Amino acid sequence: MGEEAIVEEAVSVPRRAVGGLLGVLTAPVAALYLVLVGAVLGPWPRARRAFHGGVARLAGLERARRAVWFGDRFPAHYRVGERELLRYLARRSGAGLVSGLVLGLIGFGGVLVVLLAAGALRGTLSVADLLGQVLLGGVLLFLAVQGLASLADLDARLARDCFGPSEAELLRHRIAELADSRAAVLHAVDAERRRIERDLHDGVQQRLVALRLLLGRARRGGDPQRTDDLLRQAHREAAEVLTELREVAWRVYPSALDTLGLDEALAGLAERCPIPLRVRHRASGALPGPVLTAAWFVVSECVTNAAKHSAAAAIEVAVDRDGARLTVRVEDDGRGGADPAGGGLSGLRGRVAALDGTLHVHSPAGGPTVVTAELPCG
């Protein structure tokens, strides 16, 4: 879907106050345009385009006011229909007019405060009347300030709903992202299970069959020397089966990841890699378990792909942490052309997306291939 959230910068209260006052001034202009120009041009189909053009310009003025004085940053390419702009301008002008009315009442209250103070100084106002007026004025001032705060929130919400994805749209987008990432994780898990099954079937199982045949021949043999040779072969085969089984277990999940951390696990991967692998680990501090696992699988899958398909001569892995974000970068000097939609990389993208992370693949023809994963770890 590709929607972006609206970003609000931290701005000072005086700057927001100026922006609110400007909104009070632009509200009657928009209201007069909607009432007068709309009444004149609205009934004529050919003139509606000019009317909506004015609506778009006034809405653009409000958008600029929110951006300059309130620090709002709206999505640059979010398209807004004519009806949405017209509805926003009508609601915005109404909220601005009410804000102007509340400010007028506050100003009128200020005049009354001056008159009460003058009466108290002249002695024409009793203490009881003065206290009553002060209490009533304080309550009305509190209600007016609360009303202004609510109107300011309404102004911001109207701008968000018009010039960017609404909260409902963002929620739908988030639900769709979660559903996609869940399906991608399930697909990645199924693919991992199939890979483990192939490794066990093509490697360990075949060696166990050979070991069984050797032991059977040794048991049936009548020549002690021949039996001894067969047992030695069976012993070597058992050692190779154990090594193969350890490699399969390592590829599934290295125990060093839990006991020694990501740095040592990557060092073990570098020892097992058939081509030179350089690891630069600069992520200090403890990392959540899911982040460790995702980072490991990103590096492991990329290194495996590079060793099998890229004809690379060297691989470089960099792991850095910047605050609450872990960045994993894998680069090889192979021939490039990696398909981001391929089974391995799409599975990694789903695994990373399940943690609200992102995966970028840059692999032009001729190389190099660079895979970068950004994982939140806060």
What is the number of other CB atoms lying within 10 angstroms of the CB of residue 4? Answer: 15
Give the end of a domain, one of 252, 279, 309.
252
Is the Cβ–Cβ distance between 371 and 330 less than 8 Å? Answer: yes
pLDDT of residue 93: 93
84 and 143 together in one domain: yes
Residue 351 lies in a domain: yes
79 and 212 together in one domain: no
151 and 69 together in one domain: yes
71 and 187 together in one domain: no
Residue 177 lies in a domain: no
106 and 239 together in one domain: no
230 and 346 together in one domain: no
If DSSP codes are grouped into helix, strand and coil, which group holds residue 316? strand
Handedness of CA 286, 347, 274, 364 (dihedral sign): negative
Structure tokens at 224: 């002690």
User: In terms of Cα–Cα distance, which of 260, 236, 79 is closest to 164?
Assistant: 79
Number of domains in the chain: 3
Long-range contact pairs involving 81-85 (C-beta distance under 8 Å, separation at least 24):
82/52, 82/55, 82/56, 84/162, 85/52, 85/55, 85/56, 85/59, 85/162
108 and 198 together in one domain: no
pLDDT of residue 77: 67
348 and 283 together in one domain: yes
11 and 157 together in one domain: yes
Q: Cα–Cα distance between 372 and 345 in angstroms, integer?
A: 11
Q: Cα–Cα distance between 117 and 109 in angstroms, integer?
A: 12
Residue 173 lies in a domain: no
pLDDT of residue 168: 67
- Model pLDDT for residues 187-237, shown as the tens digit of each residue: 666 666 777 677 677 777 777 887 788 788 777 777 778 778 777 887 887
82 and 140 together in one domain: yes
What is the number of other CB atoms lying within 10 angstroms of the CB of residue 349? Answer: 24
What is the number of other CB atoms lying within 10 angstroms of the CB of residue 326? Answer: 26
Structure tokens at 229: 């040779």
Q: Which residues contact 363 (CB under 8 A, 6 or more apart)?
A: 336, 337, 338, 340, 369, 370, 371
What percentage of residues in the chain have a pLDDT greater than 70? 85
Residue 280 lies in a domain: yes
pTM over cut 0.75: no
Residue 170 lies in a domain: no
Residue 218 lies in a domain: yes
pLDDT of residue 22: 93
233 and 267 together in one domain: no
Residues of the chain with pLDDT under 70: 1-10, 42-44, 76-77, 165-170, 181-192, 196, 199, 246-253, 343, 378
Residue 28 lies in a domain: yes
pLDDT of residue 42: 63
Q: What is the number of helices (H) and of strands (E) in the chain?
A: 12, 7
For residue 315, what is the domain's CATH number? 3.30.565.10
Domain with 329, as residue range(s), is 260-376
pLDDT of residue 26: 92
Give the end of a domain, one of 165, 191, 206.
165
pLDDT of residue 2: 43
What is the number of other CB atoms lying within 10 angstroms of the CB of residue 363? Answer: 21
12 and 161 together in one domain: yes
Give the end of a domain, one of 224, 252, 280.
252
- Model pLDDT for residues 254-267, shown as the tens digit of each residue: 777 777 788 888 88
Residue 172 lies in a domain: no
Backbone angles phi, psi at 80, to 5 degrees: -120, 130
